[in-house]
Amino acid sequence: MRPLVWFRSDLRTRDNPALAAATRAADRGVVAVFLIAARQWREHDCSPARADFILRNLADLSASLARLNVPLRILDAPAFADAPRTLLALAREQSCDALYFNRELEVNEARRDSAVSAAFEKAGLRVHPFDDATILPPGAVRTREGRFHRVYTPFRKAFAAEYARREGVSLAPSPRRQHAMPCPPDAVPAAVPGFAASERPDLWPAGERAARRRLVAFIEHRIGDYHAQRDAPHADGTSLLSPYLAAGVLSCRECLLAALDADGRPLAPAPVRSRGPAVWIDELIWREFFRHLVVAFPRLCMGSSFNRAFDSVPWNPPDERFEAWRLGRTGIPIVDAAMRQLASTGWMHNRGRMVVASFLTKNLLIDWRHGERHFMRSLIDGDLAANNGGWQWSASTGADAAPYFRVFNPVTQARKFDPDGAYIRRFVPELAALPAPAIHEPWTLPLSQRSAIDYPGPIADLSASRRTAIEAFAAARDRPPPR
Ligand SMILES: Cc1cc2nc3c(=O)[nH]c(=O)nc-3n(C[C@H](O)[C@H](O)[C@H](O)COP(=O)(O)OP(=O)(O)OC[C@H]3O[C@@H](n4cnc5c(N)ncnc54)[C@H](O)[C@@H]3O)c2cc1C
């Protein structure tokens, strides 16, 4: 038996169910493969930062696999439709008799996997898919009536009950080293045409070891205070692991087990707000919730609002105010700081994500889908389920979303979570010399001081735009659904 292992968003050797099973089943060696789907990546709004992160992690993965005598082949298959032919040709060339992979959950990815599986089965080759992208398999957490949950808190409760019923989760066994490589590995390209290489690879060092170092450092030094520090955007109080989780360089089960260990207790049956590790575990379960949702409601992958009532919100076109938002030139310091953090690092703090998403969808009344796409095109951790979940939560159109009448006031948010203005000073240097609290609303300064700063006035009146948004959402909610 010579398995072909197909890597996608599981770029690691540790706790990798497909790799573990393939290396154990093999008796004639194993071949691994990754497909570069440049056209599909563009259609899916993959950011250059993410493409670059994938390539850098592939180089590390290739070296780890080589130590196991498993060559990593890198093939071009520009669109998902090219995957069946490309993989089957490789399987034939290398005399592989089975395909192993970890399932991806999004609609196009799942359809691609079905097409690949059908092609392999038709050719008489076996297919072994595994669950990996979540802690518990999508579908394992349901209501008493067998339906998928639409609201987080009952999902959280059912998740804990199912986790306990299964007596937890364990990591996949280590992959087995093979006797010899069936073929040499391919060189990993330094860049893919159309996706610029990162200018700051040092911000997000690649590889499983780097990911685990981050996890261990977080667990040892910061998780204890996570509940107190997680909302401060300048504090580095979160794990900064999202790019590694999104690319599968680190497994979500490993994160959960490490946090449970730090907490020193079994998984709590409901959210706990007072202990860092328990609060962090809840974030992992939010990730899980959004992932289970895209499987239950595939239309989430197709740009559809979860709550159809808000399909008729009269969104404004993405005009020059959208451009100002994109560039971090809205004149609202906390919004601009967060948008510039995104542009300069490929990442944004969760508090920033919530503030800028609320500002775009409520104060500017611009469709969340424009924001979702801009995030995907910019984020190093772009992840359809979490991004869609976050945007629809913020826009009040999602499952268990923020109620439409609760509109974040960015100035209040800034005063509460960035009281000294440290985050703003870091990313909006024009305002660095201003003291707090003036730094949060520079438009309140006397004109003489204001005109000395090269910083725009606010593009929206926060109170008036809030009222307009609430009225627009209320009217949409009360409108009869389109036939
Ligand atoms: C509008 C919006 C868009 C978002 N887009 C993405 C995205 O594309 N990719 C992404 O990974 N996260 C996204 N998030 C969720 C969250 O902001 C990031 O996961 C988090 O900021 C990453 O930082 P961290 O790794 O330090 O998180 P930590 O606070 O350390 O949390 C640990 C892990 O839990 C997961 N997680 C945390 N919060 C959430 C959440 N609210 N929803 C889902 N998973 C969560 C992430 O995998 C994260 O790495 C979005 C949130 C919003 C409001």
- DSSP for 59-110? HHHHHHHHHTT--EEEEE--SGGGHHHHHHHHHHHTT--EEEEE---SHHHH
Q: CATH: 3.30.750.24, 3.20.20.190, 1.25.40.80, 3.10.20.30. Which one for 134-169+208-296?
A: 1.25.40.80
| Calpha distance 82→139 (Å, rounded) | 29
| Calpha distance 340→348 (Å, rounded) | 9
Quick one: which atom of ligand 1 is closest to the CA of 354?
A: 53
Residue 87 structure tokens: 């993989």
308-478: CATH architecture: Orthogonal Bundle (1.10)
Residue closest via CA to ligand 1's atom 26 equals 240
pLDDT (mean) for 220-248: 97
Active-site residue, 391 included: yes
pLDDT (mean) for 203-212: 97
Q: How confident is the model at residue 200 (pLDDT cuts 50, 70, 90)?
A: confident
With a 6 Å cutoff on the Cβ, whether 162 touches ligand 1 is no
Quick one: which atom of ligand 1 is closest to the CA of 389?
A: 42
Residue to probe by mutation, ligand 1, list 215, 293, 381, 397, most atoms within 8 Å of CB: 381
Mean pLDDT score across all residues of the chain? 96
pLDDT > 70: what percent of the chain? 99
Active-site residue, 443 included: no
pLDDT over 90 at 56, yes or no: yes
pTM of the model: 0.98
Position 482 scores a pLDDT of 62
Position 399 scores a pLDDT of 87
With a 6 Å cutoff on the Cβ, whether 290 touches ligand 1 is yes
Position 481 scores a pLDDT of 66
Q: How confident is the model at residue 401 (pLDDT cuts 50, 70, 90)?
A: confident
Position 171 scores a pLDDT of 98
User: In terms of DSSP bridges, do strands 31-36 and 3-7 run parallel, antiparallel, or are they unpaired?
Assistant: parallel
CATH number of 3-132: 3.40.50.620
User: How far is ligand 1, taken at its centre, from the CA of residue 73, in Å?
Assistant: 31
Residue closest via CA to ligand 1's atom 22 equals 242
Q: Could you tell me which residues come within 8 angstroms of residue 420 by beta carbon, excluding any fewer than 6 positions away?
A: 436
Position 480 scores a pLDDT of 75
Reading phi first (left if > 0) and then psi (alpha if -120 to 50, else beta), residue 124 is in left
pLDDT (mean) for 60-86: 98
Task: Decide which of 227 and 479 is more confident.
Answer: 227
Active-site residue, 41 included: no
Question: Where do the structural domains in the chain lie, given as residue ranges?
Answer: 3-132, 134-169+208-296, 308-478
Position 483 scores a pLDDT of 60
With a 6 Å cutoff on the Cβ, whether 375 touches ligand 1 is yes
| Calpha distance 184→194 (Å, rounded) | 28
pLDDT (mean) for 26-53: 97
pLDDT over 90 at 376, yes or no: yes
| Calpha distance 253→135 (Å, rounded) | 5
- Let me know: does 116 contact 84? Beta carbons within 8 Å: yes
Q: Could you tell me which residues come within 8 angstroms of residue 264 by beta carbon, excluding any fewer than 6 positions away?
A: none
Radius of gyration of the chain (CA): 24
The per-residue pLDDT for range 123-180, each reduced to its tens digit, is 999 999 999 999 999 999 999 999 999 999 999 999 999 999 999 999 999 999 999 9
Distance of CA 82 to the CA centre of its chain: 25
- Let me know: does 297 contact 306? Beta carbons within 8 Å: yes
Residue closest via CA to ligand 1's atom 4 equals 387
pLDDT (mean) for 322-348: 98
Go through 421-438 and write b for each residue having 16 or more CB atoms within 10 A of its CB, e for each that does not: bebbbbbbeebeebeeee
